[in-house]
Amino acid sequence: MTTAVTETYTIPVGPLHVALEEPMYFRIDVHGETVARVDINAGHVHRGIEYLTTKRTMLQNVVLTERICSLCSNSHPETFAMAAERIAGIEIPERAALLRVVAAEVKRIASNLFNVALLAHLVGYETLFMHVMQVREIAQDIKETVFGNRMDLGAICIGGVRYDLDEKTTGFLVGSLDRLVPEIEAIVQTYRTNGSILGRTRDVGVLTREQAIACGVVGPVARASGVAYDVRAVAPYAAYDRLPLEVHVLTDGDVWSRAMIRLAEALTAIDLVRACLRDLPDGPTRLAETPDIPPGQAIAKSEAPRGELIYYLKTNDEPRPERVKWRVPTFMNWDALRFMLAGAKLADIAIIVNSIDPCVSCTER
């Protein structure tokens, strides 16, 4: 070729795009097949939920926050309840703390597998996509059988949990986890060796450790860039301080590393659930009475499947909170997309965006 491609044109990715599970708008200036500039435009699924929380009682808000987003639907009420409990000075029963971990980790397994499956779909490897989704179905069955729902578990209440494990559900849970482990291990092996996956994800969308720290990314995105930050380890809540938690860290910071971190964390989640079931003491699963939340303010944070989730709660004399504000992991992570997409190929945009596992409805509430 004697003449270089000099023309730059603009490609809209979103707000509705097959590769995006949720509406998000990227205005991408493309130079040939290479990305020259990215504009990220948000706000398409703003539903005013933050405002809505101040119009609901504390109890109603547990239900409302669960509906912010389906993939992290357990993390939101859990963190909200933690903030409320902190204001009221409530210690939840030991059995409830462990059951909260069970609910959170089961959600994490399903959420991480979902993202890893989407990666295969975006790479055009439909068979692998369907296989991973099939494996995720085991986690969905757990949710449906133990909690009664496939997405929103309804597991959390202020002062404990709203579900309990009996002999039957425990047996099903253990059996399902035993089925999951070899399946996920096989998926890990596939993602580690398959040429199609490696060719499209290695050294793609790289976020260096310095950039990761500068952007303040959280969750698997941070841990794939060598930042060993996991709320469950640095600020343990529920029962994480007494559980064998392994924080996985990789240093390459590419799309592949992020997928591998998610798979490894799905396996760790299974270990955590098993440890919970082993140590599960008898006792109440919640406080005897629904507690009143006194005036005050508190911050609580937890590790959602996508990373650190922070809730700020301010209450006054009324049954409704005065202010609820939350910061979701995607809010921190999507700014880093600018670094990941810089100089990327057009074909890799969807793969890179998916690699931060964006949860747009959490972010825009």
Partner 1 sequence: MPTDLLILVSVLIFPGGLFAFSLGLMLKGVDRRVAARLQGRVGPPLLQPAFDLIKLGFKRTMVPDSAAPGVFLAAPLIGTVAMLLAVALVPIAGVYTPDPRLGNLLVLLYLLSVPGVALMLAGSASGSPFGAVGFSREMALMLAYEATIVLVVAAVGLRTGLAEGGVVTFSLAEIVRHQQEHGAYLLDPLMWPALGAFLFFYPANLGIVPFDIPEAETEILEGPLLEYSGPALALFKVMSALKTVVVLSLGIALFCPIAPHGIAGLAVWLASMVVLLAVGISAVRVSIGRMRIDQAFSFFLKWPLLLAAASLTVVVVV
Which residues bind to partner 1, rule: CB under 8 A?
9-12, 17-19, 30, 32-33, 120-128, 130-131, 134, 194-197, 199-200, 345-350
DSSP string, 207-252: --HHHHHHHT--HHHHHHTT----HHHHS--TTGGGS-------SS
Between 136 and 200, CB nearer to partner 1: 200
Smallest distance, Å, CB 5 to partner 1? 8
Tokens of 114: 């979902």
Between 173 and 206, CB nearer to partner 1: 206
Smallest distance, Å, CB 258 to partner 1? 17
Between 222 and 356, CB nearer to partner 1: 356
The Cα–Cα gap between 340 and 356 comes to 10
The Cα–Cα gap between 345 and 124 comes to 16
150: CB partners within 8 A, 6+ apart: 140, 143, 144
Smallest distance, Å, CB 208 to partner 1? 22
Smallest distance, Å, CB 194 to partner 1? 8
Between 235 and 346, CB nearer to partner 1: 346
> Residue 119 — φ and ψ, nearest 5°?
-55, -45
Smallest distance, Å, CB 137 to partner 1? 12
156: CB partners within 8 A, 6+ apart: 62, 66, 74, 77, 78, 81, 100, 103, 162
Between 187 and 273, CB nearer to partner 1: 187
Tokens of 297: 């303010």
User: Does residue 12 have a cis peptide bond before it, meaning omega lies within 30 degrees of 0?
Assistant: no
The Cα–Cα gap between 225 and 67 comes to 31
CA distances 316 to 83, 216, 287, 295, 330, Å, are 14, 32, 22, 4, 30
Between 130 and 234, CB nearer to partner 1: 130
Between 53 and 354, CB nearer to partner 1: 354
